[in-house]
Structure 1
Amino acid sequence: MNTFSFLTAAALLFLAVQRQSLAGSATWSNNPSSGVWNTAANWMPSTVPNDTSDIATFGTSNMTDVINTDGIVNLDSLLFDPGAAQYTINAYYNIALYGTGIVNNSGTMQSFVAVGAFLFNNGATAGNMTHFSNVGGYVSFNDSFSAGSTTIDLSDNMYQASVVFFDSSTAANATMNVSGGAYVSLEDNATGGNATFTISGVSFLGIVENATADHASATCIGGTQYYGAGIFFQGFGSAGEGTFTAVGASSSGEKGAFLDFSGSATAASGTFVIGGGLGAGLAATTLTFFDTTTAAAANITAKGGVGGSDGGAIIFTDKAKGGTASINLNGNAELDLSTHSAPGATIGSLAGNGLVFLGARLLTIGSNNQSTTFSGVIQDTGGVAKSGIGTLTLSGANLYSGSTTVSKGVLVVANKRGSATGTGSVNVNAGTLGGKGMISGPVTIGTGTGSGAILAPSVGSKQPLTLSLTNALTLKADSTYTWQLSTKNAQADEVIAKGVTIESGAQFALQTVANKKLSTGAVFPSSATPPRVRSAAPLPTWPTVPPSPPGVML
């Protein structure tokens, strides 16, 4: 009996000693026998920190290359004391943090290499002045983790390196450089914080499920001959107020970078710069909205290509929405609706001098109520509609053959050649049409029973202008022709049309500028039409409005 009690006590003592040597908070020795984490003799006291409540502390040491070579290490935190040496912590297996995370008080950069994995849980943080090299390994941030201001470099070997943010974790102020087939993913309700992401080669940044980029900035650069670097938004992923830049190819055979929205993802209030090719014949970049995604209130700029290369392209396909997004096309950059579902898409505003491909769809412009000028070319068989209270100025020679409809705000034509509104009809159901440009299709002002539509050549101008129509003009019963008269030089607005029809009830409103007194007997020729509407064809039809005499004397 005594022999049994002795053996039992001895066994329990052995287990206690064994447990102490394998777990407990400890400090890395200043003179360890090796760099192996899992050797108890390398710690003070002689125990390997390996419990979710353990703290592994690092101070001065003559061995600063520390390697976890055997199984998962669980810790509360990694603590670097003031004045600690510069360490490299290598996770050949997993190192998981469950408490404070990494606390760096050393004043020097601490390095971490993920060949296996670093796992951050609960409220653990990656700390400040920390640098992660992920070579085919895995880093995950879980729960309410913060990446702090760490720097993470991801690159591939035979395995795909990855960093994933789960739950409500945040990339905070981290800097992440992703290359060689690696990827970073924000998932669940994770946020990008104010992080900076650089994606190059065949590498990716994904913002999926309910994650948001928050205020992060991300740049994707070029690619390989097979794939471009990419940023994709899936599920209900959001661009937040982030900034995203896609850089075109810089060498022959290289694919351009891309940004894709799919599912019900949103560009939110993000800023996007979509680049063209960086030299002759080089690939440009794309921003594509698929499915039922939305550009929301984003600010999107597409740049032209260098040396004749393709410009950046903004593509709306399926049932994607343009929301109130501001779109600016420079050089030969493109906006493409040709694969969108009928009837078409609405965007907030259009500016710049690029190219718009309608296909057979309708592009509605103006939902953000901004005033913009577009001097590029709109083409194909689709049409254009003007909405919102802002002013859209078209100063290019457009080629689309569908109709142009104004339902609100102001459409100004300011082209010097061709037709600002393509070859189709122009219908001003409400709002105002004006400008000194040229229109080739028939123009109808009002609907006859609407709330009122206005024809005003000099709208937004301080001097009278002439609007030239190479087709017929019809002023419906609910229309108003507002003409401006300069009393300083006795000049007035003028509309030249090939045939004019004025329905009963149409109104004419005179606006004077300069506040000068006209001399007695001033004459304003009107070519036998009401004030300053001149027909280039035989006399127009007057249902009930009598024609003016050859001259109007004021």
Structure 2
Amino acid sequence: RTTIRLPAIRRLAALLLAATALTPVDALAQTTTWIGGTSNFNDSANWSNGTPALGTVAAFGGTGATNIVTIGQSDTSGLTFNAGASAYTITTGGNFNIWDGGIVNNSGQTQTINVGTAMTAGGTLTFNSSSAGNATINAVGGNVQLSGTSDLGTASVTIGSGRTLSIQTSQGSTSQARVHLEAGSNLAVTRGGEYTTTIGTLKGAGIVTFAQSFFNPTTSGLAVGNGNESFTFDGTVISDTAVAPGGPAIGLAKVGTGTLTLTGTNSAVFVVEQGTVHAASTASLADSVFAVNSGATFSIGGNQSVRMLTQNTSSGGAVDIGANTLSIVGGSFANIYKGDIVGTGSVTFGAGAIAGFDLGPFQQLSYTGGTTITGGAQVALGTGTSFAHTGKLDLDHGTLVVGGVLIQSELKGGSVPASTSLQAGELILNQSTSSTYNGSLSLGALTLNGSTTGHLTLGGNLDNVHGVTINDGRITVSGTSLSTSLTMDGGRLTAQNANVTLSDLNGNGSSAININDSTVTANLDQTRTYYGTLSGSGTANFVKSGTGTLTLSGASSGGYTTTVNSGTLQGDTNSLVGPIVNNATVIFNQAATGTYAGALSGSGTTIKSGTGTVTLGNANNTFAGTWSIQEGTLQAGAANTLGSSSRVEFGTATGISTSLRLNGFDQTIAGLSGGAGLGITAVDLGSGSLTVNQATDATFAGMITGTTGSFTKSGAGKLTVSLGWINTTGTATVSGGTLQLDWGSAAFGGAVSVASGATLAAVADGAHISVAGALTTQAGSIIQLGTDTYTTLSLAGGGVVGGTIQGGGLYANFNKLGNNTLLIDGTVNIGNVVKLQAGTIRLGAGGSFTSTAPQFDMSAGTVFDLNGRNATIGMLNGSGEVKLGTGTLTMVGGHPSATDFYGTITGAGGLVYDTSMHHINQIYGTLSHTGGTSLTDESKVVVNAGGAMTGGGSMALTGTSQLTLDNGQVTQYSTLNGTSQTQITVGTGSTLATSGGGTFSGALGGAGNLTVNGAGTLVLGGTASHTGTTTVSDNGILELNATGSLTGGGAMVLASGGQL
């Protein structure tokens, strides 16, 4: 930014002028002394050394006439009034030229020069590079001219009407002359050059004119006030006011500490270098330029207009407008003013040819009246400039640019047109009425200090408003865009058909934001809390963007759609209302119970925090993100309110209780996870159904409970319930993926179904699954128990197993409860204990019971119905009935101890013992199956008292198996076969009988009996050491082969065709 350059600095042009000035007379000029026999100055007889001429100094002593008159042109190299000289009056009758030496007055008397008289012309009194000394000069009938390097000294100069004081000096001069211009006179500064002629006072009612010379001078030309006196000039000052910043300027300068008061009509440049220039109420300054330098003052005593304000120092002085109005109308060039404007009045910036007003920087514009900017004018306040007044700001097709602070009582009421522009570092409005500003705003900050009646509507270009503060009152942004920060201490911001973007947002509880057919975006990268309210109407949108967190703490009335694109939006059910599109993070920080009834959509994360309950009241939400329950309860208030594509996760904070309540409303979600903070984590179905469509693996460490509600696991992923449990009385379905219990249990009170390809699993230590209702599993499904972990499956409701039930290791348990039938149409393979405690287990057409469990426990009244199928178990224990049909039951071992079977085995099927030497199969019941019995490997079978094998089927022993009959009964087999390492012990009172023969190469011992009672041949290939009776009857044959022997010593009975 440039300024008008007015300081007196030497330039080359001035040097050239000085070089071409008239050559002065030699300093050793001759002196001629006035002896004055007559009054004729031009009579040589009146001089001691002839008439004065160029090169001769005229000296005056104490002799001769004192009233002197010149006739025609007169020249002298100076006038010297010696000590003791009288008071002389010289009246010129023609041109009078004083060269070089000027006027020197040592007399102590007043020496007067009258340029002509009222009746006679006096020519021109010219000072050629000389000084007027302290003379009194009265230009009544002629003119006064300063040339070369002349000055007025301390002279008192009066210029009469029609006469001129002409300053044509080639360099500046400083004097304390007192100049009085009578009305009609003229002070003409015609050759100011780069120098200024400085005088003391300027009074009167004449005219001061300035003309720029051909070499473009840049100084003011004339300065007044040297000597610090205060004085009034009632005349007119005229100069070229088309001054440009940095360009040439000629005008009147004010120096000294005194005050120059202007009362007339002026059209000039005034440079207030020192002291004060005061414009009285009668003054007219509309076409004048004022340069007010630092430390100086320009004041007005009435309403005034000036063309331009500026300064020629680095900072300006003060403009004191008092209680008046100062109008700055603008000129041919921009105003650049860096000073203060003070007072209680107002300032109007108008429109000249070029209406530019630059004020500041770093100044105080503290006038308290109004400000009007009109006619396309532009006012610019530099950085650091404070516009701290309380009057109205009236922008009427004008522009205000404020680099610092602008304080206004308010903008003008009514409507400000769109061609207006306001730019400021900070605009402070104390608004109490309604006004509309449709111009452009460019503000570092806008502060509205309003009241309930203060309303500012902004409808122009607001692209460069960087901060808005509303302290009560109301701002409406209408039909435009605003991007700014917003701080509210009460008051209201209304967006009407507008787009408002907030880079920062703060507001207390008395604040309000209205969104009417508009979009308000909080683009925050910081954490902020807004305590006010939000409301909207029409197509209203509230958008949260940026990485920061915005907390809404006030009660909002809705009517708008909230979109969260980035960062976090936090509130509760009082502040988060209406539709929400959540593509980032929304937090319901709920301390009490509340309902959110809006439609929720998006793919972000919605967090429930706080100890209270949030009820979701909108059905069929489309939210596809994550519900994160960090504290308190999230409760359904309508069907599918969670969103079928959403996921629910629970927090993991230590000791914090969290829950999801269906509250009787059916829900489908896309995932369930979280928990394990050792607080209570719960999903409460109530009477509602929950479907978890889990596409990826996740772990839920909590409990799922319900009264009549149902639970469905779908999707290809695995849902692991860890450190928790499932306890429902409704149905449960695993239609896809895996539902797995880790360190927890599931108690299904209703029917359970597992679809093809799906898995229900309990794999960790202590994991249990119990089903009170019917179990239905499809082919291809799996119920998986743990491997080397204590896990249990308990089924009480019967049902159909079409898939696989499996559990490896020694710790997987399977319990059948309930007086009903469980149909196994798939595969059961359990590694530990199978307990049939009630009802029936029946193998279906595709059923396979291949459990390697060491023990198969049956309670009284239960039935294990092979239904003609083959089955494998560990060891048979307990009571109940095994129905083989035509199937075969194989026992492959159990714990290293005996098992006691008190039940019955029936059917035409077979029985196979394939257990180890450590396992003893104790028979206390009746085995009446007819399909034969086989003992293999190291199997041990003991038929105890009360037990019986009555089916009559075959008996075959292989390996090192052992059969002990210790029940005192006859045990009949159709055939008896045994390899060499096998052993049969027949206890006292017991009989081993066979009717179909066979080959037994093992050892036969005990105190019991052996009977061969049929047509078959029994070949003994081992040692028969039993001590009881051996009977061969009914055409039977007992044969000892080469290795066989009878060594027991008991009786031998051959009867009815029997042979040995």
Taking structure 1 as the reference length, the TM-score comes to 0.70
Question: In the aligned structure 1, how far is the partner of 2:602 from the partner of 2:884?
Answer: 58
Deviations 1:115-155 (A, max 9, x none): 2243687894366431422534224353x833555322336
Residue 949 (structure 2) pairs with residue 420 (structure 1): yes
Question: In the aligned structure 2, how far is the partner of 1:257 from the partner of 1:70?
Answer: 39
SS in 2 for 1:360: coil
Instruction: Considering Cα pairs closer than 8 Å and 6+ residues apart, tell me whether 1 or 2 has the greater RCO.
Output: 1
Question: In the aligned structure 1, how far is the partner of 2:579 from the partner of 2:714?
Answer: 33
Question: In the aligned structure 2, how far is the partner of 1:186 from the partner of 1:126?
Answer: 23
Residue 825 (structure 2) pairs with residue 290 (structure 1): yes
Question: In the aligned structure 2, how far is the partner of 1:36 from the partner of 1:537?
Answer: 105
Seen in structure 2, the aligned counterparts of structure 1 residues 44 and 287 have a Cα distance that, compared at 3 Å, is same
Seen in structure 2, the aligned counterparts of structure 1 residues 415 and 136 have a Cα distance that, compared at 3 Å, is farther
Seen in structure 2, the aligned counterparts of structure 1 residues 99 and 465 have a Cα distance that, compared at 3 Å, is farther
SS in 1 for 2:747: strand
Question: In the aligned structure 2, how far is the partner of 1:4 from the partner of 1:401?
Answer: 109
- Aligned partner of 1:471 in structure 2 is 994
Residue 740 (structure 2) pairs with residue 212 (structure 1): yes
- Aligned partner of 2:792 in structure 1 is 271
Seen in structure 2, the aligned counterparts of structure 1 residues 417 and 551 have a Cα distance that, compared at 3 Å, is closer
Cα displacement (A) at 1:466: 5.4
User: Which is worse superposed, 359-368 or 114-123?
Assistant: 114-123
Cα displacement (A) at 1:386: 0.9
Check conservation: 1:436, 1:468, Cα contact below 8 A.
no
Check conservation: 1:501, 1:542, Cα contact below 8 A.
no
Question: In the aligned structure 2, how far is the partner of 1:369 from the partner of 1:317?
Answer: 31
Q: Where do 1:92-103 residues align within 5 Å?
A: 92-94=619-621, 96=623, 101-103=628-630
- Aligned partner of 2:966 in structure 1 is 436
Deviations 1:388-441 (A, max 9, x none): 212222221123221111112334243545733633111112211114135332
SS in 2 for 1:440: strand
SS in 2 for 1:422: coil
Seen in structure 2, the aligned counterparts of structure 1 residues 260 and 410 have a Cα distance that, compared at 3 Å, is same
- Aligned partner of 1:365 in structure 2 is 891
More strand by share: 2
Seen in structure 2, the aligned counterparts of structure 1 residues 60 and 534 have a Cα distance that, compared at 3 Å, is same
Seen in structure 2, the aligned counterparts of structure 1 residues 434 and 194 have a Cα distance that, compared at 3 Å, is farther
Check conservation: 1:27, 1:58, Cα contact below 8 A.
no
Question: In the aligned structure 1, how far is the partner of 2:559 from the partner of 2:834?
Answer: 51
Check conservation: 1:74, 1:97, Cα contact below 8 A.
yes
- Aligned partner of 1:78 in structure 2 is 607
- Give the letter for the 2:794 counterpart: V
- Aligned partner of 2:582 in structure 1 is 51
Seen in structure 2, the aligned counterparts of structure 1 residues 243 and 398 have a Cα distance that, compared at 3 Å, is same
Question: In the aligned structure 1, how far is the partner of 2:868 from the partner of 2:558?
Answer: 63
Check conservation: 1:37, 1:68, Cα contact below 8 A.
no
Question: In the aligned structure 2, how far is the partner of 1:454 from the partner of 1:70?
Answer: 80
Question: In the aligned structure 2, how far is the partner of 1:91 from the partner of 1:298?
Answer: 50
- Report % sequence identity: 17
- Aligned partner of 1:526 in structure 2 is none
Q: Where do 1:224-373 residues align within 5 Å?
A: 229-232=751-754, 234-235=756-757, 237-241=759-763, 242-247=767-772, 257-258=774-775, 260=777, 262-263=779-780, 265-269=782-786, 270-275=791-796, 284-291=819-826, 293-297=827-831, 299-304=833-838, 311-313=839-841, 315=843, 317-325=845-853, 326-338=855-867, 340=869, 344-368=870-894, 371-373=898-900
Q: Where do 1:448-527 residues align within 5 Å?
A: 452-457=981-986, 467-472=990-995, 476=999, 478-481=1001-1004, 483=1005, 493-498=1007-1012, 503=1019, 505-507=1021-1023
How many residue pairs are counted as aligned between the two chains?
474
- Give the letter for the 1:434 counterpart: T
Deviations 1:169-206 (A, max 9, x none): 123232332625654458533323343223435x1232
Question: In the aligned structure 2, how far is the partner of 1:297 from the partner of 1:70?
Answer: 51
- Give the letter for the 1:58 counterpart: N
Q: Where do 1:116-195 residues align within 5 Å?
A: 116-118=640-642, 124-125=649-650, 128-133=657-662, 135-142=664-671, 145-146=673-674, 148=676, 149-154=680-685, 161-177=690-706, 179=708, 183-185=712-714, 187-195=716-724
Check conservation: 1:88, 1:112, Cα contact below 8 A.
yes
Cα displacement (A) at 1:375: 1.3
Cα displacement (A) at 1:101: 1.8
Cα displacement (A) at 1:318: 0.8
Cα displacement (A) at 1:289: 3.4
2:927 to 388, 394, 398: 398
Please list every run of 5 or more consecutive structure 1 residues that lacks an aligned counterpart in the other structure: 223-228, 248-255, 305-310, 458-463, 484-491, 509-529
SS in 1 for 2:886: coil
Seen in structure 2, the aligned counterparts of structure 1 residues 361 and 221 have a Cα distance that, compared at 3 Å, is same
SS in 2 for 1:205: strand
- Give the letter for the 2:1003 counterpart: T
SS in 2 for 1:423: coil
Seen in structure 2, the aligned counterparts of structure 1 residues 73 and 122 have a Cα distance that, compared at 3 Å, is closer
- Aligned partner of 1:534 in structure 2 is 1029
Seen in structure 2, the aligned counterparts of structure 1 residues 213 and 235 have a Cα distance that, compared at 3 Å, is farther
Seen in structure 2, the aligned counterparts of structure 1 residues 199 and 298 have a Cα distance that, compared at 3 Å, is farther
Deviations 1:302-342 (A, max 9, x none): 223xxxxxx253546515342313432212222222164xx
User: Which is worse superposed, 367-376 or 350-359?
Assistant: 367-376
Check conservation: 1:125, 1:146, Cα contact below 8 A.
yes
Deviations 1:343-402 (A, max 9, x none): x12122322212222221111112556642221122222111111212222221123221
RMSD: 4.4
SS in 1 for 2:829: coil
SS in 1 for 2:721: coil
Check conservation: 1:51, 1:76, Cα contact below 8 A.
yes
Check conservation: 1:274, 1:312, Cα contact below 8 A.
no
Check conservation: 1:260, 1:289, Cα contact below 8 A.
no
Seen in structure 2, the aligned counterparts of structure 1 residues 287 and 45 have a Cα distance that, compared at 3 Å, is closer
- Give the letter for the 2:874 counterpart: G
User: Which is worse superposed, 173-182 or 40-49?
Assistant: 40-49
SS in 1 for 2:963: strand
Cα displacement (A) at 1:472: 4.9
2:915 to 366, 384, 388: 388
Deviations 1:251-272 (A, max 9, x none): xxxxx53354631524434423
Check conservation: 2:828, 2:851, Cα contact below 8 A.
yes
- Aligned partner of 1:517 in structure 2 is none
Q: Which has the larger radius of gyration?
A: 2
Check conservation: 1:140, 1:166, Cα contact below 8 A.
no
Seen in structure 2, the aligned counterparts of structure 1 residues 374 and 165 have a Cα distance that, compared at 3 Å, is farther
Question: In the aligned structure 1, how far is the partner of 2:1021 from the partner of 2:856?
Answer: 39
Question: In the aligned structure 2, how far is the partner of 1:233 from the partner of 1:178?
Answer: 24
